[in-house]
Chains A and B, each alone.
Chain A
């Protein structure tokens, strides 16, 4: 944490960029990190929690090994994205924000990824899947299950 914080300023404006960095490092924002960030910025933990819970990007729980993000944008929606999303929930057995008990997958939603002409779109760990149909869901996930 010390090394990580050293690269940042100590003003309020540095807060979100610090949070991004911490999350990139740990996959989530651990409670201990919140304390250290508050000290670094000379502010309260309350303030740090206030900001981080406002934004969708930051999570307080560790996520699964694979992050599955299903686009909920309007274009994906009219092209059948709702069905893909329902199927994904069934396939993984979790609700959005949830992580599978084996800690393999975390399911997330996003309001638009901007690949609207080739939706419905699903992103797994930064890899984009376009024109996803309900029938594709199982095989896409199976590929990651195999990888372990």
Chain B
């Protein structure tokens, strides 16, 4: 139990002293993608081999969350050199121990080779996927076992909290966050410092803060990765925010589809409580604060803040009109400040290294880094952390290695079901909040789904409308009924039953749903359709007029020799190799 800020430094020194420094350390990526790809088998094989050779005392093993390069899971990094082996099988482990651990040699066949250039990279930091990133939030993932608060303490964890509690006033904290230029990472990009100030300004006898970890956009998983790999960074950010806003109670709302995140954040919260970093008199100060964790129940709309609060209150998660904004009337009617996971994780970093340093990263209006999930038809899929202002081309080609299977880039979808599509002409766009909106898409929470010529845009628009009409809470008519109408039209078009007037009808419906819906879900639901209509109208026209699906996806259209002939066979989907 820490009762004085100086004990934090002492604790860190003690951990350093007590921890033996092994000659080699094997770091295993064991996030959700890692486990799905077999990391538990790798850990087992490592355990077995280290025991068999009696290497337990000389070789360390660190099991961590996600390292970001999901495509190459399961992977390990061997320190101090930083040698990287990906796509491992348990049977690879003995040779790694034999050669790399005992003889200091690289196991050549397991070295990562760039399939395009043929170049081989033995060291993790040299792999192009990592080299071009700016990993401010995610670099520590390689050093932290999320089960051990000690690892976070070693990475200077909770130092920012100590600084805030004892050297800064609440106003100073808000000013620091504000001048850093941090904007909400959940998608809207609202300045975080201003949001905190609004909530603080309200006169009330209780306030709440919430961490929105209901990351539901298909194709995005940054928040889950942070919570699995470095949960304490979010908790520390929240305590700092609570101090600045003046509140004693908080909720973390995590989606149930991320069970590992629920588990890790709960473990971290309990450890923070045990060590006096949550609860009464934090670090011996006069500040009291605690966090409750609420597990979602599978409703996408809960990512919308008013629905999320309804869900925490135990009700049907229907959204409501704003204003009043949560800062005025939120959870149970009290002023409430809601920030997304990644926003909270940025807070300790800003306090520790200063607003001035932070505000030098990024563009004039979007500061810091952003984590994107780069997925879809990309060669090197994974989590990438890049400075704001980076070009789309750099993310997709330099970091992501371009399109899979030698195919052509068709478009990238950003912002999830609320966002839009960016075709090739936008590849040189500098990515920040405002540029993306200007280009007709949004930052969203950071999803980036890459498509090639085998992706049918009409089918994808249908996919998104299916999603939103299924997830609409049903409260307002434009969203509940309108998205259904749009979906049904799109289904007809993909079946070859489209009519020419359908496109105008889609646009008309889209415009009215956008204007008339109650919350963000409905207001942005038509975006994928409107955006594909803008950039890929010809593809719609071919579906309707020629009854053809140029991408070869729409089953009813691929094998039809003429519009009237019955289907002769079904095209089976080719397996997509990575």
B220 A78 Cβ-Cβ under 8 A: no
Chain A: CB-nearest residue to B413: A74
A112 B220 Cβ-Cβ under 8 A: yes
Chain B: CB-nearest residue to A77: B463
A148 is an interface residue with CB less than 8 A from chain B: no
B70 A117 Cβ-Cβ under 8 A: yes
- Assess A74 versus B295: contact at CB under 8 Å? Given A54-B316, A110-B257, A128-B36: no
A134 B377 Cβ-Cβ under 8 A: no
Query: How many angstroms between the C-alpha atoms of A131 and B73 in the bound complex?
Result: 12
When the two chains form the complex, which single residue of B313, B382, B460 contacts A13, counting CB atoms closer than 8 Å?
A: B313
Chain A: CB-nearest residue to B301: A54
Residue with the highest number of chain B CB atoms closer than 10 Å, among A11, A15, A119, A126: A119
Residues from chain B with a CB closer than 8 A to the CB of A63 are none
When the two chains form the complex, which single residue of B297, B314, B449 contacts A74, counting CB atoms closer than 8 Å?
A: B449
When the two chains form the complex, which single residue of B215, B312, B382, B575 contacts A114, counting CB atoms closer than 8 Å?
A: B215
Query: How many angstroms between the C-alpha atoms of A45 and B258 in the bound complex?
Result: 29
Q: Residue-by-residue, is B294-318 near A (CB-CB < 8 Å gives 1, otherwise 0)?
A: 1111111000000000011111110
Query: How many angstroms between the C-alpha atoms of A117 and B233 in the bound complex?
Result: 24
Query: How many angstroms between the C-alpha atoms of A135 and B576 in the bound complex?
Result: 12
A78 B294 Cβ-Cβ under 8 A: no
Residues from chain A with a CB closer than 8 A to the CB of B313 are 12-13
B558 is an interface residue with CB less than 8 A from chain A: no
B237 is an interface residue with CB less than 8 A from chain A: no
- Assess A56 versus B219: contact at CB under 8 Å? Given A16-B311, A77-B460, A116-B373: no
A121 is an interface residue with CB less than 8 A from chain B: yes
Residue with the highest number of chain B CB atoms closer than 10 Å, among A14, A15, A114, A118: A114
Q: CB within 8 Å of A: which of B457-503?
A: 460, 463-464, 467, 470-471, 473
By the criterion of a CB under 8 Å from any partner CB, how many residues of chain B are at the interface? 60
Chain A: CB-nearest residue to B456: A78
Residues from chain A with a CB closer than 8 A to the CB of B296 are 57
A83 is an interface residue with CB less than 8 A from chain B: yes
B32 A130 Cβ-Cβ under 8 A: no
B451 is an interface residue with CB less than 8 A from chain A: yes
Q: Supply 10 A–B pairs (Cβ within 8 Å), ascending by A.
A: A16-B314, A20-B256, A56-B297, A57-B297, A74-B464, A112-B221, A112-B257, A114-B224, A118-B36, A130-B37
A133 B219 Cβ-Cβ under 8 A: no
Residue with the highest number of chain A CB atoms closer than 10 Å, among B36, B256, B451, B578: B36
B298 A55 Cβ-Cβ under 8 A: yes
Residues from chain A with a CB closer than 8 A to the CB of B103 are none
Residues from chain B with a CB closer than 8 A to the CB of A110 are 257, 298
Chain A: CB-nearest residue to B383: A117
Query: How many angstroms between the C-alpha atoms of A11 and B317 in the bound complex?
Result: 16
Residues from chain B with a CB closer than 8 A to the CB of A113 are 32, 257
- Assess A111 versus B375: contact at CB under 8 Å? Given A56-B297, A74-B449: no
B573 A78 Cβ-Cβ under 8 A: no
Residue with the highest number of chain B CB atoms closer than 10 Å, among A15, A75, A111, A133: A75
Query: How many angstroms between the C-alpha atoms of A12 and B313 in the bound complex?
Result: 6
Query: How many angstroms between the C-alpha atoms of A78 and B403 in the bound complex?
Result: 13
A55 B460 Cβ-Cβ under 8 A: no
Question: In the complex, what's the smallest C-beta–C-beta distance from A87 to chain B, in angstroms?
Answer: 9
A115 B36 Cβ-Cβ under 8 A: yes
When the two chains form the complex, which single residue of B36, B216, B311 contacts A129, counting CB atoms closer than 8 Å?
A: B36
Q: CB within 8 Å of A: which of B50-72?
A: 70-71
Residue with the highest number of chain A CB atoms closer than 10 Å, among B37, B257, B576: B257
When the two chains form the complex, which single residue of A12, A57, A131, A134 contacts B314, counting CB atoms closer than 8 Å?
A: A12
Given contacts A19-B297, A74-B416, A114-B220, 16 further A-B contacts (CB under 8 A): A11-B314, A16-B297, A50-B316, A54-B299, A54-B317, A111-B216, A111-B470, A114-B215, A116-B218, A116-B220, A116-B449, A117-B33, A117-B374, A119-B375, A130-B37, A133-B576
Residues from chain B with a CB closer than 8 A to the CB of A114 are 32, 215, 220-221, 224, 257-258
Q: Residue-by-residue, is B269-302 near A (CB-CB < 8 Å gives 1, otherwise 0)?
A: 0000000000000000000000000111111100
Q: CB within 8 Å of B: which of A74-133?
A: 74-75, 77-80, 82-83, 110-119, 121, 126, 128-131, 133
B219 A118 Cβ-Cβ under 8 A: no
Question: In the complex, what's the smallest C-beta–C-beta distance from B425 to chain A, in angstroms?
Answer: 20
Chain B: CB-nearest residue to A126: B259
When the two chains form the complex, which single residue of A75, A83, A111, A129 contacts B573, counting CB atoms closer than 8 Å?
A: A83
Residues from chain A with a CB closer than 8 A to the CB of B471 are 111
Query: How many angstroms between the C-alpha atoms of A58 and B70 in the bound complex?
Result: 31
Query: How many angstroms between the C-alpha atoms of A11 and B576 in the bound complex?
Result: 50
- Assess A131 versus B218: contact at CB under 8 Å? Given A51-B316, A75-B375: no
- Assess A131 versus B375: contact at CB under 8 Å? Given A83-B573, A117-B382: no
Query: How many angstroms between the C-alpha atoms of A12 and B451 in the bound complex?
Result: 44
Chain A: CB-nearest residue to B318: A54
Residues from chain A with a CB closer than 8 A to the CB of B315 are 12, 51
Residues from chain A with a CB closer than 8 A to the CB of B256 are 20, 57
A118 B73 Cβ-Cβ under 8 A: yes
- Assess A111 versus B467: contact at CB under 8 Å? Given A14-B314, A78-B451: yes
When the two chains form the complex, which single residue of B71, B257, B572 contacts A118, counting CB atoms closer than 8 Å?
A: B71
Question: In the complex, what's the smallest C-beta–C-beta distance from B67 to chain A, in angstroms?
Answer: 12
Query: How many angstroms between the C-alpha atoms of A108 and B276 in the bound complex?
Result: 42
B314 A73 Cβ-Cβ under 8 A: no
Q: CB within 8 Å of B: which of A48-62?
A: 50-51, 54-58
A74 B36 Cβ-Cβ under 8 A: no
Residues from chain B with a CB closer than 8 A to the CB of A111 are 216, 218, 300, 467, 470-471
B35 is an interface residue with CB less than 8 A from chain A: yes
Query: How many angstroms between the C-alpha atoms of A13 and B316 in the bound complex?
Result: 11
A55 B35 Cβ-Cβ under 8 A: no
Chain A: CB-nearest residue to B224: A114
B314 A13 Cβ-Cβ under 8 A: yes
Query: How many angstroms between the C-alpha atoms of A80 and B471 in the bound complex?
Result: 22
Chain A: CB-nearest residue to B295: A20
Query: How many angstroms between the C-alpha atoms of A97 and B152 in the bound complex?
Result: 42
Residues from chain B with a CB closer than 8 A to the CB of A11 are 314
Query: How many angstroms between the C-alpha atoms of A94 and B70 in the bound complex?
Result: 32
Query: How many angstroms between the C-alpha atoms of A118 and B460 in the bound complex?
Result: 19
Question: In the complex, what's the smallest C-beta–C-beta distance from A51 to chain B, in angstroms?
Answer: 6
Chain A: CB-nearest residue to B36: A128
Residues from chain B with a CB closer than 8 A to the CB of A19 are 297
Question: In the complex, what's the smallest C-beta–C-beta distance from A49 to chain B, in angstroms?
Answer: 11
